Chains A and B, each alone.
Chain A
Amino acid sequence: MKKRDTGQLVPSAGPTSGAYGCESVITLDDLSIGYDDQPVLSGISLSICRSTFTAILGANGSGKTTLLKTLLGLQPPVAGRILVCAPDEAPIIFGYVPQFAQFDPVYPLTGFDVALMGTYGRVRPGRPVPHRERAFTWECLRAASADAFARKRFNLLSGGQKQCVLIARGLATKPDVLVLDEPTAGVDAVATQALMEFISQIHEKRRLTILLATHDLALVRKHAQQVVWLYHGRIFRGPVAELLTPEGMAEILEIGIA
């Protein structure tokens, strides 16, 4: 078990139990997140269970991205702590899949070049990427159905193709947790469907812990197991089957508005 408190990692006792009796991979303990010591969301206490598909649901500006950035260690929490647990006491590895639109098209990189970056965490600085890591990157591209267009320039690919390459890159990190930040933003309906089916498949086949930030209620309902709903500065969490029922949603919306 590792504890991260304002960005620091220190060893701790061992795996903890999540809210549903499962093995917790990430535990947020009375966490406040925000910028420049100004909290956007406070009092976040929840556990993400190993091998679950959890969706972070919320409208634009609800704090989804801030929560993800804090989890990934990109910004320190305003208060509280984050406990992360890797199975072998090694630091937990996040496979981060950002939105494709955030990348500057000025970089002359192929899809393969982008996916290969996922292996950089295992290659020491100053060393070339070994052949086995290149072969593994191709495996990840094949798994993400991105090998057919991986030799093309990344900035010339369609939104859905770029997202497949980015998922392959996330897989190439050999992650404990795959973190996807609105992966279907800007992707057409058909590609969104295919992309989400693929994410569900890798979750089932590899027993991978998935954390997906989205504002698409339909996608969450269809693919996720757990949901963390950020609504009007409040956090609601639970199994999709319970939380996203008409009754559950009506209750949340009433509480949020009140």
Chain B
Amino acid sequence: MDALHQILSPAFLLRNSVYISVLIGLACPLVGVYLVLRRLMFMGVALPQISATGVAFALSLPLWFGFQIRAHGAHSEHALAFVGSTVFSLAAILGLAFLERRGRGLPEGRLSTAYVVSGALGILLLAKNPYAERGWLDLLKGEVITVSNSDLALTAIALAVVLAVLVLFNKELLLVSFDRVMAVTLRKNILFWDALIYILIGLTVSMAVLSVGPLISFGFLLIPALTAHLFARNMLQFMISASIIGGTTGFVGFWLAYQWDWPVGPTHVVLLGLIYAVAWIFHRCLQLSRKELIS
């Protein structure tokens, strides 16, 4: 309990890391819901990895072109990483979605290849990069330790925008996901709404990867949504419960990691996995007991 008191203290040194874990935990499942509904779960695995490669690529540019980031060092470095992460995320999701729409080839094959190649490429790019030693390699491994106030603010603003768009255009996003034919007959521009969903997913993933790394991003994108799906009776319940599971795990995971001196990222993901397993067993027991009652 001592660790909990420390974490909750306003003077806690790593408070920004706690905030960002909770923030990512609350926001990622909201777009993760659409990945689950559209059966794009493999994309949820590949996308954070591709986004992380974008970070590594952007940080390699100064090395390749022979210039150094001096002015406002960490800020410029972060801005460069943000651009790399966002460009790679958006390019990947729009490219993969385009291929998906054309319906040719094997989508799982494309996503698996993108995942493994981008993972390897990210490691290669950072292997000889001086910025890797400044914490980027740790971040890409899922260590949430150094989060500046400006990083936190930027992440909060981006995720607030994502949340606002999701809430405002909930019915259009749901309609084009659930029944594209109906959307066309109602004269909805499905290309526009599809692009909006993909941009929201891309933006959230890039912000999450930049803040907490690909491992946690993947965990928070899919596992809370899958857990909530077991019990949700409607879309509102689904989205709210997924977000609450993510946000709570973001906090509890950080607490456990701090208490036992475990790495934060893996702790979050294992905790999410445990919650999913327990929820699944509980759900199964409920189903069996209902069947018994009926019979």
Contact = CB atoms under 8 A, between A and B. Distances in A.
Given A103-B178, A108-B237, A109-B235, A173 B229 contact: no
B186 interface: yes
Interface string A89-117: 00100111010000110111110011001
A21 interface: no
A109 B178 contact: yes
Contact of A108 (B39, B171, B181, B235): B235
A73 interface: yes
Interface in B100-156: none
A246 interface: no
Contacts of A74: 181, 184-185
Given A98-B181, A126-B169, A91 B187 contact: yes
Interface of B: 36-37, 39, 168-169, 171-172, 174-175, 177-179, 181-182, 184-188, 229, 232-235, 237-238
Nearest to B231: A108
Given A109-B178, A117-B179, A96 B185 contact: yes
Contact of B171 (A107, A114, A129, A153): A129
Interface of A: 69, 72-74, 91, 94-96, 98, 103-104, 106-110, 113-114, 117, 120-121, 123, 125-126, 129, 153, 169, 173
Given A72-B185, A106-B39, A126 B168 contact: yes
B11 to A, nearest CB: 42
Q: Main SS of chain B's interface residues? A: helix
Given A107-B235, A108-B238, A120-B188, 7 more contacts: A74-B185, A91-B187, A106-B229, A113-B234, A117-B174, A125-B169, A153-B233
B181 A106 contact: no
Contacts of B232: 108
Contacts of A107: 37, 177-178, 235
Choose among B36, B181, B182 the residue with the greatest number of A CB atoms under 10 Å from its CB. Answer: B182
28 contacts: A72-B184, A72-B185, A74-B184, A96-B181, A96-B182, A98-B182, A104-B37, A107-B177, A108-B233, A108-B234, A109-B178, A109-B234, A109-B235, A110-B233, A117-B174, A117-B175, A117-B179, A120-B171, A120-B175, A120-B188, A121-B186, A121-B187, A123-B171, A125-B169, A126-B168, A126-B169, A153-B233, A173-B185
Contact of B181 (A72, A104, A110): A72
Nearest to A108: B232
Nearest to A94: B185
A74 B168 CA distance: 27
A35 B17 CA distance: 53
A117 B185 contact: no
A211 B184 CA distance: 18
Contacts of A106: 36-37, 39, 229
Contacts of A169: 182
Contacts of B233: 108, 110, 153
A121 B186 CA distance: 5
A117 B178 contact: yes
A96 B229 CA distance: 28
Nearest to B36: A106
A108 B171 CA distance: 14
B191 to A, nearest CB: 13
A120 B184 contact: no
Given A98-B179, A120-B171, A123-B171, A108 B229 contact: yes
